[in-house]
Amino acid sequence: SRNSDSDVFVYAIPKQVKVGDTYQMRGVNFRVDRFPEFQGFSPSVVIFAEGGNQDRRIHYKMHVERRKGITQLHFESLRASPPGSADLSREYTGVSCMLVSQRGLLAGARLEVPPPKGVID
């Protein structure tokens, strides 16, 4: 059973992701945006997620790289309970996590990242 006060983070990516897309999964709204491109690195996107109820909105970001999947997560805040307790008593803000592996989470998604406007190759 899930405590009604607990935060719910959903990591969901469609099979094909395009900059500008929006989608919803299990009450969480997702928006796909461009991530700055750097020479020598695979194209990537950042997916902004927002969920939770009116009283407690949850915001987090997923950095998704082509052929790797989710490689970084950034949480606006994380709430935690001490070991052995069901009470949420701590809140951590601005938490970033980096996945150190050859493949990230949900690596099967294909990214469609059009060139930025105003950029000349």
pLDDT at 121 over 50: no
Per residue in 73-95, pLDDT (tens digit) is 999 988 877 777 777 677 888 89
| pTM given for the model | 0.78
Per residue in 37-68, pLDDT (tens digit) is 777 777 889 999 998 777 778 899 999 988 88
Give me the half-sphere count of Cα atoms (radius 13 Å) on the Cβ side of residue 38: 3
> How far apart are alpha carbons 81 and 114 in whole angstroms?
43
Give Cβ neighbours of residue 118 (< 8 Å, ≥ 6 apart). none
Would you say 67 and 107 are in contact if contact means Cβ atoms under 8 Å apart?
A: yes
